[in-house]
Amino acid sequence: MTESDRRQQEIVDEFSFLDDWMLRFQQVIEHGEAMDPLPDGAKTDDRLVRGCQSRVWLDTDLEGGAFRARADSESQIVRGLASLLVRVYDGLDLEDARAVEVWFPREIGLAEHLSPNRANGLDAMRRALEAAARTA
């Protein structure tokens, strides 16, 4: 099992105990609240994720061979979704980050319960992280 798969399985395990979707959305929001916010100086137009209804900033870097990812959003749910993606990617070896296959949203049922706009935003954030890892 890869490190990213292990991280995704942890997310699936956390959500598997929550049967009600209101509780799952609350869990997503709590993940977002626990994520450190980006400093205002990092919330620049070049870091905006295109394709999201809410403004989402994604800041990535390469630090000592590790892919670093941070994100922020004005929307609580979108910030929570971003935090879950950051949790999968942040700190991975660059080659591992380039090989990530994101599967946890399907496993926890996000595809069926997100509005189409939020689902598109989640996919846009995933694609932005993939692109950032490829070009790092």
Name residue 99's amino acid: A
- Residues annotated as catalytic are 52
Q: Which helix (H) or strand (E) holds 57?
A: strand 56-63
Give every CB contact of residue 12 below 8 A, 6+ residues apart in sequence.
104, 107, 108
**Which of 70, 60, 50, 54 is closest to 124 using CA atoms?**
50
**Which of 73, 75, 78 is closest to 58 using CA atoms?**
73
CA 129 vs CA 13, 102, 112, 122: distances in Å: 23, 10, 22, 11
To the nearest 10°, the Cα dihedral for 25, 6, 90, 108? -20
